[in-house]
A and B are shown apart, each in its own frame.
Chain A
Amino acid sequence: MTEPVIICRCEDITLADIQERIEQGNHSLEELKRECRCGMGPCQGRTCMPLIAQELAKSLSKPTGEVILPSFRPPTAPISLGALARGSSHD
């Protein structure tokens, strides 16, 4: 038996999960992310999105460069509500 391969560490999603969802017809990163939360944890997909893009490219037999990346949303790094609130009181 082989160990399950974790592809998204923040949300604990395996390679097999992703492959199954691609097979079910989720053919874009936006759809995959909304199906299983891959790339939505604290790292915001920095580690897993390129790997999942590769998987998608492989399954769809197209170059990885043609897989459209999902929207990258602010903030760039996690920041606490407390720090943000202090920021606004200095205005």
Chain B
Amino acid sequence: MIKQADVVIIGGGVVGCSIAYNLAKAGAGQVVVIERGYLASGATGRCGAGVRMQWGTETNCLLSRESVRLLENLPEVLEVDGDIEFKQGGYLLLAYSEKMVAQFKQNLTLQNSLSIPAQWVTPDQAKEIVPHLNTDGLLGATFCPKDGHANPFKVTSLYAKAAAKLGVKFYTYTEATGLSVKAGKVAAVHTSQGDIATNTIINAAGGYAKAVGCMAGVELPIFPERHEILVTEPVEPMQTPMVMCFYHNLYCQQTPHGSFIMGIGHPDEPETFNIKSSWQFLSEMAARITKILPPLANLNVIRQWAGLYDMCPDRTPILGQDPTVKGFYTAAGFSGHGFMISPVVGQLMAQMVMGQPLLIPINMFSADRFTRGQLFVEPSVV
């Protein structure tokens, strides 16, 4: 194993790989990625793969808008061959209460001011977009045709391939077990394969970010939360957009492969590293989805699984250098939407490490916002 590196990234999910590529591209010197399993074995490979620009805060709108721009031509941008299966079939966000209608309309004003092509649709128009939608009780929806989804394994491996081409070293099946901090500065990473001396460490450990923070003596308010998800057998194309509903706390899309992928958020999910599947999820998911999209009752479920959301109290990530330990950066706490913003997060983290001007101002994402009491709450999350 390499003995010394300019930057060591802990975590080989989509975020770690995107940061690695962007650092190498920016000339950060020797960059190393340490991953406990295989690349994308964490939340990335378990996620719903959705990409949307319909957010309620300006920063999230910008992060996702710029990421979509990159995803649209990712192989060309990264100068490697591959296909990330990015399909822009749109996102249909359903509104079932007056409060939600008001929030969505407010979000639309913000989104449109940032050139995000989302629009309000009536229940009838929503039914034209998704013919099998049950519009009972529906007050309307917002639709953005440029939202969509991409294959998370392929996005991650494309970034990894591009990074490796620029000299980044990947150590899979290797666990970071401890960090050395000397005089308030990062000095080394200890791994199951040996030690690496470095002055810069990036914590991209997803649901395990808090544990990695502890290794540096830093307390991060990021906690793991299980989210369950299932996939059906493939059928002929019948649903173009992702259907999402904050009221029923669910999302459902048909992949280019033909299968439907769907998940729900659970308000009572405890803080744990548990990623076991439950039968309660199957029946709850089935009950809710067959109400909103009745013909899906005929589809067979072939597999269910679960992954961890890395939750922050305000459902917004922590991006930046720790205020107390020099050289210790965190990019985690994505609260269920880290895949879709990973292309830009990689750029921003590289810019921070290299001391370059930031593409988008994200000072509000710093870890010390919690001690300052300046939370940055995103209203539109499942």
Alpha-carbon distance A88/B153, docked complex (angstroms): 33
Alpha-carbon distance A39/B257, docked complex (angstroms): 14
Alpha-carbon distance A71/B282, docked complex (angstroms): 18
Alpha-carbon distance A35/B297, docked complex (angstroms): 30
* Complex contact A42–B282 (CB within 8 A): no
A residues 59-90 near B (Cβ < 8 Å) are 71, 73-75, 78-85, 87-89
Given the interface pairs A28-B38, A74-B279, the reply to whether A88 lies near B301 with Cβ below 8 Å is no
* Complex contact B233–A81 (CB within 8 A): no
Q: How far is the CB of B236 from chain A (nearest CB, A)?
A: 15
* Complex contact A78–B233 (CB within 8 A): yes
Given the interface pairs A73-B277, A78-B233, A81-B290, the reply to whether A87 lies near B300 with Cβ below 8 Å is no
Which residues of A are found within 8 Å of B376, using beta-carbon distances?
A: none
Which residues of A are found within 8 Å of B257, using beta-carbon distances?
A: 37
* Complex contact A78–B300 (CB within 8 A): yes
Q: Cβ of B45 < 8 Å from any Cβ of A?
A: yes
* Complex contact B305–A88 (CB within 8 A): no
Total cross-chain contacts (CB, 8 A): 80
Given the interface pairs A74-B277, A74-B279, A89-B287, the reply to whether A81 lies near B38 with Cβ below 8 Å is no
Q: Cβ of B232 < 8 Å from any Cβ of A?
A: yes
* Complex contact A82–B277 (CB within 8 A): no
Alpha-carbon distance A91/B282, docked complex (angstroms): 14
Binary A-proximity of B261-291 (CB < 8 A = 1, otherwise 0): 0000000000000000101001111110110
* Complex contact A34–B45 (CB within 8 A): yes
* Complex contact B301–A80 (CB within 8 A): yes
Q: Cβ of B302 < 8 Å from any Cβ of A?
A: yes
* Complex contact B301–A81 (CB within 8 A): yes
Alpha-carbon distance A79/B283, docked complex (angstroms): 11
Residue among B41, B233, B290 making CB contact with A82, cutoff 8 Å: B290
* Complex contact B40–A81 (CB within 8 A): no
Q: Cβ of A55 < 8 Å from any Cβ of B?
A: no
Which residues of B are found within 8 Å of A71, using beta-carbon distances?
A: 305
Residue among A28, A31, A37, A81 making CB contact with B232, cutoff 8 Å: A81
Which residues of A are found within 8 Å of B303, using beta-carbon distances?
A: 40, 44, 73-75
Q: Cβ of B359 < 8 Å from any Cβ of A?
A: no
B residues 300-334 near A (Cβ < 8 Å) are 300-305
Given the interface pairs A42-B302, A73-B277, A73-B303, the reply to whether A82 lies near B297 with Cβ below 8 Å is yes
Which residues of B are found within 8 Å of A75, using beta-carbon distances?
A: 282, 301-304
Which residues of B are found within 8 Å of A88, using beta-carbon distances?
A: 283-284, 286-287
Which residues of A are found within 8 Å of B377, using beta-carbon distances?
A: none
Alpha-carbon distance A73/B279, docked complex (angstroms): 12
Given the interface pairs A42-B233, A80-B297, A80-B298, the reply to whether A85 lies near B304 with Cβ below 8 Å is no
Which residues of A are found within 8 Å of B233, using beta-carbon distances?
A: 41-42, 78
Which residues of B are found within 8 Å of A74, using beta-carbon distances?
A: 277, 279, 282, 303-304
* Complex contact B296–A81 (CB within 8 A): yes
Q: Cβ of A17 < 8 Å from any Cβ of B?
A: no
Q: How far is the CB of A43 from chain B (nearest CB, A)?
A: 9
B residues 21-53 near A (Cβ < 8 Å) are 38, 40-41, 45
Residue among A31, A37, A41, A78 making CB contact with B301, cutoff 8 Å: A78
Nearest CB to that of A35 among chain B residues?
B153
Which residues of A are found within 8 Å of B282, using beta-carbon distances?
A: 74-75, 84
Nearest CB to that of A90 among chain B residues?
B283
A residues 1-37 near B (Cβ < 8 Å) are 28, 30-31, 34-35, 37
* Complex contact A81–B286 (CB within 8 A): yes
**When A and B form their complex, which 6 residue pairs have the shortest distance between CB atoms, in order from nearest?**
A82-B297, A84-B286, A88-B283, A78-B300, A85-B286, A81-B286
* Chain A positions near chain B (C-beta within 8 angstroms): 28, 30-31, 34-35, 37, 40-42, 44, 71, 73-75, 78-85, 87-89, 91
Can you list 17 A-B pairs with a CB-CB distance of less than 8 A?
A: A30-B41, A34-B45, A35-B153, A40-B303, A73-B304, A74-B277, A74-B279, A75-B302, A78-B302, A79-B300, A81-B290, A82-B286, A82-B297, A85-B290, A88-B283, A88-B284, A88-B286
